[in-house]
Amino acid sequence: MANRPLSPHLQIWKWGPHMAASILHRVTGDGLALVGLAVLLWWLGAMAGGAESYATFVEIMGSPIGMIVLVGLSWAFFSHMMTGLRHFVMDIGAGYELTTNKTFSVVAPVLGILLTAAFWAVILLK
């Protein structure tokens, strides 16, 4: 067998905030696609089903479990948006310096949490 170099894998790489931010971007995107689509289709079906169906949807989404789902979806949206902006900045060739990349990687999820809190504060305090 030839003495070829092995590709690095997870046991070689050191975990850092940049890896966590990239994984978070993928996880939130998948969550938005799966859970967000399910809630959207349920909402559309409830509207098409009439007043009774829509009242059931509103009741369930207004329950504590429904609110957890909605807050989770909004958190996934804002976190995905912030990490997406991080990836966009890197795609244009900026932010590759180690300190800048680590800073963006920490700031992006924090901004996602802050934007989620602000979004729900506006909704609930209005």
Q: Find the angle CA(31)-CA(79)-CA(33) to the nearest 5 degrees.
A: 20
In a domain, 120, yes or no: yes
Instruction: List residues forming the annotated binding site for heme.
Output: 80
- Whether 112 is covered by a domain: the verdict is yes
Residue with more model confidence, 80 or 93: 80
Residue 3 lies in a domain: no
In a domain, 10, yes or no: no
User: What pLDDT score was predicted for residue 126?
Assistant: 86
Residue 46 lies in domain = 17-125
Residue ranges for the known binding site are 80
Task: Give a yes or no: residue 9 inside a domain.
Answer: no
88 within a domain of the structure (yes/no)? yes
Q: Write the Ramachandran bin of 14: left for phi over 0, alpha for psi from -120 to 50, otherwise beta.
A: beta
- How many domains does the chain fold into? 1
pLDDT tens for residues 53-68?
A: 999 999 999 999 999 9
- Does residue 12 fall inside a structural domain? no
Q: Determine the pLDDT at residue 7.
A: 66
Overall pTM surpassing 0.75 (yes/no): yes
* Of the candidates 58, 36, 34, 35, the residue with the CA atom closest to the CA atom of residue 46: 58
87 found inside a domain: yes
Average pLDDT, integer, range 36-49: 97
CATH number at residue 88: 1.20.1300.10
pLDDT at position 15: 80
